[in-house]
Structure 1
């Protein structure tokens, strides 16, 4: 038996002075990997408002989303309790955003435990989720239809 899950989320690519703002995501198993700041939409929330809220929660910064870079759609299957499985569909809206205020800080009691700026040239050396690479590709390539080719 498969349970279908849809998660819609919004994320920010914030690049400034050759650095990108990332948040360190804490997995259920305790593993930690860098990701774009952002997260799931609340019911009835506009994705623009989601990315502003989530970046503030995870990094302390106020941001202004400037461009919708694209939409990333990922299908995964993962185990659930009692031997069932979930077909998980992650739909991620990725914005180019500029920091307009606030002070860098780490999130407390959330899905991330650290926020930091990283040199663009060093991103490949980070333990990161694939969304970081997808976001950077969207930011660099800026496909007119918001869709990256494989």
Structure 2
């Protein structure tokens, strides 16, 4: 079984009681809301990653104001020819502030829509669990920056 590690950085941007989300499009066409962010390129600083990803997925310039924490997930994914991958995702979650730009949708990327959502409406959204993890880190600001433990689901 192949071992795969993906390091990614995400932003929790809350303004006027709303959170900025991007709609992720899975390989099978399923669409769910997620935090803006994504995979870190080799040699890239995580802060540069999250600022780049927020701009790519939402059109906004941003700055990160706090490190909220880390979240680690481990899953088993099918790969070609009947093989499987032992996947681990390390997700770095920041609090972000919008500094400029304008809301727009990503073109030819992993997301297709960006929007502000009232915090009270988030539980009714079709979303990945990272949204809940990020908002819990934002609300609780745990001393060790560790997201609450939960069951395994897809990102």
Give the TM-score range, shorter chain: over 0.9
2:42 alignment partner in structure 1: 43
User: Secondary structure of 2:85's match?
Assistant: strand
Greater than 3 Å deviation, 4+ residue runs: none
Structure 1 residue runs of 5 or longer lacking an equivalent are: none
Report the equivalent of 1:114: 113
Q: What is the aligned length? A: 149
Distance 2:77 2:143 in 1: 33
Output aligned runs, 1:1-150, within 5 Å: 2-150=1-149
| Structure 1: distance between partners of 2:24 and 2:36 | 9
TM-score for the superposition, normalised by structure 1: 0.98
Normalised TM-score (structure 2)? 0.95
CA distance in 1, matches of 2:144, 2:64: 18
What do residues 44-81 of structure 1 show as CA deviations (whole Å, max 9, x unaligned)? 00000000000000000001101000000000001111
Superposed CA deviations along residues 8-50 of structure 1, whole A, max 9, x for unmatched, are 0000000000000000000000000000000000000000000
Gap regions ≥5 residues in structure 2? 150-155
After TM superposition, give the deviation of residue 149 of structure 1 in Å: 3.6
